[in-house]
Structure 1
Amino acid sequence: MDSTFWATVGLVVFLALIVYVRVPGMIGRNLDQRAERIRNELEEARKLREEAQQLLAEYQRKRKEAEQEAGEIVEAAKREAGHLVEEAKQRSQEYVARRTALAEQKIAQAERDAVNAVRSNAVDIAVAAATKLLEERADAGVKTQLFKSSLDDVKTRMN
């Protein structure tokens, strides 16, 4: 019996012991469990990937909506600013027109006042001149006659 025989016997006993202890079944179960665990992890990874893609799509949609809303807000602000500018222009034009009309009214009033003052002064000067002339050239009879005619004039105008 040589060493090859004993090596073969040792190998057969070892293999028999492995089969008796059911090592191949344990290895198979461990491999099956590991394969199942890997399969579950892959399934979970696939689900997580799908959820991530859904979240990404949702966030992209929300971003587009936000960009669109921001654009609408900017456009509305531009329109409002345009309206405010137009309103401000209109108000300033109305203000200038009112101020111009008021200035023109004041100028016209000043002109009327000046004309009335000149007329009043002219009347006063004319009355003073007429009084002076009448006093110098008129005698008592003419003065009495002028007084009566003036009194008659005032009476007719009062009625």
Structure 2
Amino acid sequence: MIELLQDAHFWVGVALVIFLGILGYAGVHKIAWKLLGERGLKVQAQLDEAGKLRAEAEALLVQIKAQREAAEKQAALMLETAKEDAIRLGAEAKVKLDEQIKRRAALAERKIATAQAQAEADVKAAAADLATQAAETVLAARIAGAKSDPLIDAAVKTLAQRLQ
């Protein structure tokens, strides 16, 4: 045992035990536990707050995904509606174009018919004028060869005026 009392490690161990005893008697361990507890509570509060924020972020993420899906569905619906409208407007434009072509063709046919009728009337009028002049010439030649009658001359002149 004397060797033990001369050993420096022994005395360091005894001093450590005494020091720890003093610290225990003074209640340092309670203060340390209290400080650690408070710090643990702060950390726990921060963890709880982080958990709440994470839950909110996840809920927000779910909401944003739902909104994105809804927006994609709406965009697809709008695109489909636009395609249907384009097809419908194309068909309507084709029908209107066909109608317009038919109207213009009918108008052109009417103009052609009117021009043809006018040309026929002009030809008939020219033929009538020519026939009148020919009849006047023939009658004038016959009458000149025959005896001249003032009544016949007056009738020929009246006939020429009426035919014109």
Give TM-score, length-normalised by structure 2.
0.78
Q: Name the structure 2 match of 1:98.
A: 103
RMSD over aligned Cα, in angstroms? Answer: 2.6
Q: What displacement does 1:76 show?
A: 2.0
Residue of structure 2 aligned with 1:147, choices 144, 155, 158:
155
Q: Name the structure 1 match of 2:46.
A: 41
2:155 maps to amino acid: F
Residue of structure 2 aligned with 1:85, choices 77, 90, 93:
90
CA distance in 1, matches of 2:13, 2:80: 91
Structure 1, residues 7-43: CA drift from partner, whole Å, max 9, x if none?
A: 4552343122211332211222122223222322221
**Unpaired segments of 5 or more residues in structure 2?**
none
% identical equivalent positions: 36
CA distance in 1, matches of 2:139, 2:151: 8
Q: How many residues align?
A: 151
- Structure 1 stretches of 4+ moved >2 Å: 1-13, 138-148
Q: Which has the higher contact order (CA 8 A, sep 6+)?
A: 2
Q: 96-105 or 31-40: which moved more? A: 31-40
Question: 1:1-159 to 2 correspondence within 5 Å?
Answer: 2-3=5-6, 6-7=11-12, 9-138=14-143, 139=146, 140-141=148-149, 144=152, 147=155
User: CA separation of 1:135/1:7 partners in 2, compared to 1, >3 Å: closer, same or farther?
Assistant: closer
